């Protein structure tokens, strides 16, 4: 009798589990389609499918930055940042490149400088491309960025800067960049009262989507 009851329960569970339409999840700022299963009216996603997607996107090696799209405000607990424009430019010395305009605002109640709250003048800034290439080389205008990192920013105020990046070799064929990576260091000066709200406060902007 017990065996019959068990077989009936297993049969009922099997019949009630049905494949549902795939759903789109946003992981690390990237959309990914995953199959789902409906059991008892509840939709489930397999952990194995999530692991597969994370591995494909970079897995444990991918920088777990605050992610978003162009013109979308991102917040790490201290700084608000968004990319407002991406455009080509030509420099007489460096050749063709891309200019990425970034707006940064102080999201705390304390007057801060970027340099004492995780954004030094030599922070890493990168453009990445679909083929796996990345650009980190910038024009000498970087000096103006250094001045901005030392400027005092009261609550709600900010700054705008265009990072001009170009390939290692002048004349390299230009493809559209897919991501902009803006490093924010987790170390804060002792007089900074605010704390980052995420484990990795860096920003990752998907340049293929816009808000």
Domains of the chain: which residue ranges? 2-61, 66-210
Among 11-15, 80-84, 155-159, the minimum mean pLDDT is found in 11-15
Task: Output the pLDDT for position 112.
Answer: 97
Average pLDDT over residues 136-164: 86
Q: For residue 164, which of 114, 95, 113, 68 has the smallest C-alpha distance? A: 95
Instruction: Give CA–CA dist 104/79, Å, rounded.
Output: 7
Of 48 and 37, the structure prediction assigns the larger pLDDT to 37
Is residue 207 within 8 Å of residue 101, measured between CB atoms? no
145 SS3 class = helix
Would you give the DSSP letter of residue 172?
P
**May I ask the CATH architecture of the domain 66-210?**
Sandwich (2.60)
Q: How confident is the model at residue 24 (pLDDT cuts 50, 70, 90)?
A: low
Q: Which of 18-22, 84-88, 196-200 has the lowest mean pLDDT?
A: 18-22
Mean pLDDT rounded to a whole number for the chain: 81
Whether residue 107 has pLDDT greater than 70: yes
The more confident residue out of 192 and 51 is: 192
Q: 132: Cβ–Cβ under 8 A, 6 or more apart, which residues?
A: none
Cα separation values, 89 from 111, 146, 210, Å: 34, 21, 21
Report the predicted TM-score, pTM, of the whole model to 2 decimal places: 0.68
């Amino acid at each position: 009798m017990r065996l019959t009851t068990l077989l009936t329960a297993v049969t009922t569970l099997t019949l009630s589990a049905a494949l549902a339409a795939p759903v789109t999840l946003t992981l690390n700022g990237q959309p990914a389609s995953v199959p789902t299963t409906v059991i008892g009216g509840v939709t489930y996603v397999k952990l194995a499918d999530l692991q597969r997607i994370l591995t494909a996107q970079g897995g444990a090696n991918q920088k777990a930055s605050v992610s978003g799209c162009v013109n979308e405000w991102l917040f790490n607990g201290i700084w608000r940042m968004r990319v407002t424009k991406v455009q080509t430019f030509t420099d007489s010395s460096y050749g063709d490149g891309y200019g990425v305009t970034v707006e940064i605002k102080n999201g705390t109640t304390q007057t801060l400088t970027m340099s004492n709250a995780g954004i030094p003048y030599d922070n890493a800034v990168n453009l990445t491309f679909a083929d796996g290439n990345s650009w980190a080389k910038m024009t000498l205008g970087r000096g103006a960025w250094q001045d901005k990192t030392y400027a005092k920013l009261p609550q709600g105020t900010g700054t705008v800067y265009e990072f001009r990046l170009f390939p290692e070799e002048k004349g390299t064929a230009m493809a559209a960049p897919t991501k902009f990576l803006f490093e924010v260091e987790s170390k804060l000066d002792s007089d900074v009262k605010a704390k980052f709200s995420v484990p990795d406060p860096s920003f990752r902007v998907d340049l293929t989507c816009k808000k």
